[in-house]
Structure 1
Amino acid sequence: MNLLAIADNFIDEETMYNGLKDLEKIGVNVEVRNWYHENQEALQRDNLLIEQNGPEAVELSDELLKDLDKFHMIIVQFAPVSKKVIDKAKNLKLIGVLRGGVENVAIDYAREKNIAVLNTPGRNARAVAEFTMGMILSEVRNIARSHYSLKNNEWRKDFPNSSYVPELNGKTVGIVGFGHIGQLIAGYLKAFGSKVIAYDPFFKGEFEGVKIVDLDTLLKQSDLVTIHARYTKDTHHLIDEKELSLMKENAVLINTARSGLVNQEALVKALKEDKIFGAAIDVFDKEPIPEDDEILKLDNITITPHIAGSTKDAFSNSPKILANILKGIIDGEKNISAINNVEIRL
């Protein structure tokens, strides 16, 4: 059985191979190829194109696609697995994605071709959850603004939220999307003494100390709203002008998930008009942010360059996590299912 893994600037060839090499002990031939980009910023530009327009938006080189018909499995992180790739890989049985989202895979076409698609849920959940807590504190306590001012020789103590600088203790925090990341954040927030509510139509069961509510209720009641839903065509602009209008005037919105979940134009308008107190954003419609973008002119926002999930641990552990899933499938475990509802046959 042959496996092709496509490395990139975040998971390099050595890390990719080291994470998957144990599969060779059970008869899987692992070959690693590199999807070359000049730097991480260039890779993120391609990744954003793919996230917003699908896997057909960026083509892989002929070198990456040579002899695809000899592979039974393809493992990628950000590299697109388009219809063209699937058609070339005539013996393909499984596509594995080294993250939770699978926007870079032509998933419906894979289903038509009876090719199973696996993701790696939770692989960077802790990285994003920890970063999100940093963003919350940075925005509500003016940490980034203070740092910037001091670096520019200004001893500043007057901020957009100076009339209402909160503590997290006793505040209501709404989590939109209650998967691995949302649940980790709930635990952190409970340690701070926050009241946590969550919205997630796909969450089943209970989580101690967290009340599941509808989206409108969450937006109306929360002092802070943090977004962690999966980005799909159904969740595009999940937070739009209407949703922003439901939030408290002293509320703060945090998005470390996907840019398309929040209407960026509507958010900028709400911040300019002081409809909400502030925001902390790690993901944007255009990356890098254009120099003339209105978001750069706002004082009531903390922004970072799409780095929430970028930790050494998250990247290096991803191939190992998926390798263990594949080993389980090959060993005959029955409780592993493809996210596109195709029977896994290796």
Structure 2
Amino acid sequence: MSEPLRITAAGDHFVLPGLIARAVADEVGEQAVEIRELTLGWPLEPFGPVAEVTEASDAEEELIGALSGAEVLVTQMGPVTERVLAASPSLRLVVVCRGGPVNVNLEAAKAHDVRVCFTPGRNAAATAEFTVGLLLAALRRIPQAHHLLAGQGSWEGAAYYTYENSGLELEDLPVGLVGYGAVGSRVARVLCAFGAQVMVHDPYVRGEIHGLRVPFLDDLLRRSRVITLHARLTEETRGLIGARELALLPPGAVVVNAARGPLLDEEALCDALESGRLSAAALDTYAREPVPADSRLLGLAERVVMTPHLGGASRAVAEKAARIAAEEVGRWLRGEPPAHCLT
């Protein structure tokens, strides 16, 4: 009988190491693996740059200890640095439970003959649902009304029932989606079910879509009472929606961003909100995270719905990430081509 595959499940308080261990055992069989579990601090402890990698838990020593003799690492926030790789000569496969392996030194992994896989799509449904939730909250002033009643004990919500201050409803509302990937396409389907007039701008998507395709971004902006952002963050899309673009929106429009903060020029957004050009915004991602204490957004609570990057925070996301990672481990063990691999 061959020796079991030695795996380190370096989870955290979201993608639990136990979730990873169970998913791997279900995929390849409990007798085929020996799993060591390690719990890293995120999200109770913030991630950040660690040595030469970004967005990782500061836990090189702990990870090196847990990787002793391990051939496979499955992790979300483990710092897979040159130092960690050099100290783990048995390691052959790293699977990152995220949409991209930003916590892995890919050049060093290649030099050490370590294959690196990741788990795209794990949070698409959760982020799409959260986006629609943000949109509804902004349109109907739900957080403001909640604060008035639950925070102040006041039933005096009459101002929100005046014509000028009452919210918009999704039925027949022109809503423009900037980007139509895994998240945007789900948002489009949901908004169509609400009866919204869905329009989509994405120059990279071909084939049928839910809604009306609009080839030019400026045209989409001019026609949309609401825009939601779903584009990838690249050098081309950084600052995609700035002062010029916001000025193209109809007066009283609403902007929603649960994709990437730098897609949107926050200073221009604040200017448009303060001037009354925009009626509301809903944000889950920001140019700087955490949001600085002096951010102008914090002074616009009456017009802005803000959440601290929680779009992917669902139990299903953690479970999907563990399952997709386990499937990659199974493919590697069986000698099959990986589904999502960079090295």
Take 1:54 and 1:9, find their aligned partners in 2: how far apart are those partners? 21
Specify the code of the residue in structure 1 equivalent to 2:306: I
Question: Are the equivalent residues in 2 in contact too, given 1:3–1:30 (CA < 8 A)?
Answer: yes
**TM-score (structure 2 length as normaliser):** 0.83
Larger CA deviation: 136-145 vs 315-324: 315-324
Specify the code of the residue in structure 2 equivalent to 1:9: H
Specify the code of the residue in structure 1 equivalent to 2:320: N
Residue 247 (structure 1) aligned with residue 249 (structure 2): yes
Take 1:172 and 1:107, find their aligned partners in 2: how far apart are those partners? 43
**TM-score (structure 1 length as normaliser):** 0.82
% identical equivalent positions = 31
Residue 323 (structure 1) aligned with residue 326 (structure 2): yes
Take 1:163 and 1:285, find their aligned partners in 2: how far apart are those partners? 29
Take 1:116 and 1:216, find their aligned partners in 2: how far apart are those partners? 43
Question: Are the equivalent residues in 2 in contact too, given 1:68–1:90 (CA < 8 A)?
Answer: no
Structure 1: tracts of 5 or more residues without a match = none
Aligned length, in residue pairs: 333
- Give the equivalent residue in structure 1 for 2:309: 306
Which residues of 2 match residues 149-228 of structure 1 at below 5 A?
A: 149-151=148-150, 152-154=152-154, 155-158=156-159, 162=164, 165-211=167-213, 213-228=215-230
How far is 1:281 from its partner?
A: 0.9
Larger CA deviation: 304-313 vs 213-222: 213-222
Larger CA deviation: 301-310 vs 97-106: 97-106
Residue 103 (structure 1) aligned with residue 102 (structure 2): yes
1:89-131, Cα deviation, whole Å (9 max, x unpaired): 4454433221324333334554566644322222122221112
- Give the equivalent residue in structure 2 for 1:3: 7
1:13-32, Cα deviation, whole Å (9 max, x unpaired): 22232222224528444322
How far is 1:56 from its partner?
A: 7.5
- Give the equivalent residue in structure 2 for 1:274: 276
Question: Are the equivalent residues in 2 in contact too, given 1:175–1:196 (CA < 8 A)?
Answer: yes
Q: Give the match's secondary structure for 2:159.
A: coil
Q: Give the match's secondary structure for 1:66.
A: helix
- Give the equivalent residue in structure 1 for 2:231: 229
Given the superposition, is the C-alpha separation of residues 2 and 252 from structure 1 closer, same or farther in structure 2, using an over 3 Å criterion? Answer: same
1:235-289, Cα deviation, whole Å (9 max, x unpaired): 4333333333333322211112232332333322222222322100122345454
- Give the equivalent residue in structure 2 for 1:17: 21
Question: Are the equivalent residues in 2 in contact too, given 1:169–1:192 (CA < 8 A)?
Answer: yes
Take 1:233 and 1:296, find their aligned partners in 2: how far apart are those partners? 27
The structure whose Rg is larger is 2
The structure 1 residue matched to 2:39, chosen from 30, 34, 41, is: 34
Specify the code of the residue in structure 1 equivalent to 2:36: E
